[in-house]
């Protein structure tokens, strides 16, 4: 896990954006530590894209302050250290992947030798080396997504901002991207990840922020956001009265389709419960914790008043 730094990769305080009477973002405050993978979640219209554009210096905030890589948002030198994959992008179909990367690499101002190395490295990282000289018109949507990732990785950026990087990828492609993100973190690169695929966020992100109506309503590690997990499902066989008597000391008990449920018991009490069932001469097939997923928690938070 990354350690906190006096200068975070991203720091925003009360960031807001209004277009006339329409408020696109209101009071966004967050901190993204260097070398971490940070998940930025919210329903459509929550202000995520507006926030990303402001952090990249593409949109000026109406109020509030923000710094990226220790500099005010929009700072030209800081922007040279940022890789960006927008949600919606399109490359000229008559160019090859190598030519697309060469054009973007030229904007970074690297020497010819360094530029060639960067292009080869990006192609390898996103798995496009075998198709590097094929035209974009021949690429599937997933391959174009990989190309967009390759563009974001040019120049070995300090911060990579990814907007829905796995939306067009199959399961194998998503696995490859997860491995790629883990490799970036190991090298000390900060990743700011905006995604609707919450299972992906759960697997890769160190910290998460959930935004609603332009405000962060929950933030922290996955465990922080989910809170204390409680409840156990039990599959066991014995005389019905014996099972209920054995489990009665552990709280309210319900039964659904032959599965016993203790909804309010802490997971740490599992050994006690197993011991009580064994003492009651029950055959124990499973004692499973009831775990709320990040998606379920997100829906709870996003749908609350």
- Round to whole Å and give the CA distance between 291 and 267: 10
Q: Classify 56 as helix, strand or coil.
A: coil
Asked if 37 contacts 181 with a C-beta cutoff of 8 angstroms, the reply is: yes
Query: Tens of pLDDT along 236-276?
Result: 888 767 888 888 898 888 888 788 888 888 888 899 999 99
Position 124 scores a pLDDT of: 92
Domain ranges of the chain: 10-225, 230-289
Positive or negative, the CA dihedral 231, 235, 238, 241 is positive
- pLDDT more than 70, % of the chain: 97
Report the alpha-carbon distance of residue 294 to residue 222 in Å, rounded. 7
Once rounded to an integer, what is the mean pLDDT over residues 74-79? 87
Q: Is the pLDDT of residue 3 over 80?
A: no
Q: Which residue has the tokens 């998460």?
A: 208
- For residue 108, name the pLDDT band (cuts at 50, 70, 90): confident
Q: Would you state the pLDDT for residue 240?
A: 67
Give the rounded percent of residues in the chain with a pLDDT score beyond 90.
29
Tell me what the pLDDT averaged over the chain comes to. Answer: 86
Architecture of domain 10-225: 3-Layer(aba) Sandwich (3.40)
Phi and psi at 5, nearest 5°, equal: -125, 150
pLDDT of residue 94: 94
* 162-220 pLDDT per residue, tens: 887 777 678 887 888 888 888 889 989 999 998 877 888 888 899 999 888 878 888 88
* 3-state secondary structure (DSSP) of residue 193: strand
CATH number of 230-289: 3.30.70.980
- Quote the CA–CA distance of 252 and 232 in Å, as a whole number: 11
Alpha-carbon distances of 211 from 27, 121, 167, 208, 268, rounded to whole Å: 10, 35, 20, 10, 32
Give pLDDT, residue 157: 92
């Amino acid at each position: 896990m990354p350690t906190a730094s006096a200068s975070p990769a991203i720091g925003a305080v009360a960031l807001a954006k209004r277009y006339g009477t329409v408020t696109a973002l209101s009071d966004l405050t967050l901190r993204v530590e260097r070398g971490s993978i940070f998940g930025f979640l919210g329903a459509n219209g929550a202000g995520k894209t507006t926030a990303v554009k402001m952090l990249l210096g593409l949109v000026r905030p109406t109020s509030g302050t923000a710094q990226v890589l220790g500099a005010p948002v929009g700072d030209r030198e800081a922007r040279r250290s940022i890789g960006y994959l927008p949600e919606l992008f399109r490359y000229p179909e008559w160019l090859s992947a190598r030519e697309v990367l060469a054009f973007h690499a030229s904007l970074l101002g690297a020497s010819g030798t360094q530029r060639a190395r960067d292009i080869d490295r990006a192609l390898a990282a996103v798995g496009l080396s075998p198709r590097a000289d094929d035209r974009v018109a021949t690429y599937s949507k997933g391959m174009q997504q990989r190309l967009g990732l390759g563009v974001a990785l040019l120049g070995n950026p300090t911060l990579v901002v990814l907007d829905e990087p796995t939306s067009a990828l199959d399961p194998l492609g998503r696995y490859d991207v997860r491995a790629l993100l883990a490799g970036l973190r190991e090298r000390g690169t900060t990743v700011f990840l905006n995604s609707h695929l919450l299972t992906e966020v759960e697997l890769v992100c160190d910290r998460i922020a959930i935004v609603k109506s332009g405000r962060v309503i929950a933030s922290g590690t996955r465990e922080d956001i989910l809170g204390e997990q409680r409840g156990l499902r039990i599959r066991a066989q014995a005389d019905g009265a014996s099972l209920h008597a054995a489990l009665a000391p552990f709280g309210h008990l319900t039964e659904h389709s032959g599965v016993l449920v203790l909804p309010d018991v802490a997971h740490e009490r599992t050994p006690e419960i197993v011991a009580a069932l064994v003492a009651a001469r029950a055959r124990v097939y499973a004692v499973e914790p009831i775990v709320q997923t990040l998606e379920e928690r997100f829906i709870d938070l996003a749908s609350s008043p």
